[in-house]
Chain A
């Protein structure tokens, strides 16, 4: 019993030492980089959306769909040519949070697992990283929509 306690004390000591020695993440700098890259990607998205509204028959509500598809197309090019991972290291959430991040998560996994074949490799593994976004997006939307529908019914 005593041995356990002293071990945890030694562990705690070491954890404190680690906190000191650990190279700290440059949080402020990362936030700036994320802000600029993320904002820039959304800006490009706005250009694309405007393009689709004026040159095709999309409205402001529906132009979101082809915009997302176009952005994911460009993400495929960046990922395929080996540029996206460098962007990701630089921008962090700036590239992960826009739909580029979702696209990259699916496409990079697909490309990586080609060595295991298209069915078992590419097909089965494609949503390894992006799956939770879809799963919990759908599930939370389910809960929220049910609550909201019941709430509205109850309000008359």
Chain B
């Protein structure tokens, strides 16, 4: 519970060419038409995406960059190097995180914790992902002609950041539930949605139980990138455990970002999927007054190409952050 009500005073999102053609281009502050961003490598392009998101977020906020004290973030690339390299030119304390696609809410939760305990005045959190960089690390070279099954997902090329402060105007983080590692023994890296669904269910249930709420308290329960398979699996699992969420109430960023005609198979994924969805689109909806309370649950599949080859199953995690419309605090 965050009794001091940390405020999200600014957000910034950047996207790539696929996202520009998708369902919610208005959720992006900046869109690129080329996934190289004129860099030498996909990893450098991902780094640039994050740098741009950071700059945009600061520009949209009432504060200067020097006032940001800490940055919490990470990404999917080995040793989260694009995030680290993006921060090397900034004078900000750096907490590197790895929670795969759940990084966005992990960062948000930790930032809220720091602000709530008055450990800092301004904390920024953010993440970026790049389709080609992720494909070449986790799966195959991007020009390789393998046939992906319908459960595979498309990694979002983009970045999203948010600045959290002790006071200011903007949506408020009221509470967060940190998930535990959930592993139901699934091994198919081309079906991450299915692997992550139990983690989402576990965290949602824990959150509702600890806060003594029913699901109808929230206007929307948003998952990061469960995709078609994960969303249906988790809805069914929740039903089995006695939690009934209406279909309209349960949305997934992975299904919101792209149009159906785009070749995304089961949905979007990647750290930027939840970051763009939550920081860009849904928080914007709260600011516009269209919705009041959301529970953002980003999920992550914590495997590596090595663990898959060594025949391990895929451990997953989900963190839930409750965000509600705030009133002007000064």
Contact = CB atoms under 8 A, between A and B. Distances in A.
A contacting B, Cβ–Cβ less than 8 Å: yes
Interface of A: 8, 10-11, 14-15, 17-18, 21-26, 30, 79-80, 82, 84-85, 87-93, 95-96, 101, 104-105, 107-109, 111-113, 115, 129
A18 B145 contact: no
B143 to A, nearest CB: 4
B147 interface: yes
B186 interface: yes
A142 B72 CA distance: 55
Interface of B: 40-43, 136, 140-151, 184-186, 191, 194, 198, 228-229, 232-233, 236-237, 263, 266
A82 B140 CA distance: 14
Contacts of B148: 89
B143 A111 contact: yes
B237 A14 contact: yes
A96 B266 contact: no
B261 to A, nearest CB: 15
A14 B229 contact: no
Q: Looking at A84, A88, A90, A95, which has the most chain B CB atoms within 10 Å of its CB?
A: A88
A126 to B, nearest CB: 11
Contacts of B146: 88-89, 96
A8 B184 CA distance: 8
A22 B145 contact: no
A82 B178 CA distance: 42
Contact of B144 (A10, A15, A93, A104): A104
A140 to B, nearest CB: 22
A26 to B, nearest CB: 8
A23 B266 contact: yes
A38 B140 CA distance: 22
A108 B141 contact: yes
B237 A85 contact: no
Contact of B237 (A8, A15, A17): A17
A14 B313 CA distance: 14
B185 A11 contact: yes
A75 to B, nearest CB: 9
Contact of B145 (A8, A14, A80, A89): A89
B233 A95 contact: no
Contacts of B233: 17-18, 21
B186 A18 contact: yes
A21 B141 contact: no
Contact of B143 (A15, A18, A79): A79
Contacts of A111: 141, 143
7 contacts: A17-B233, A21-B233, A79-B145, A84-B145, A89-B145, A89-B147, A91-B145
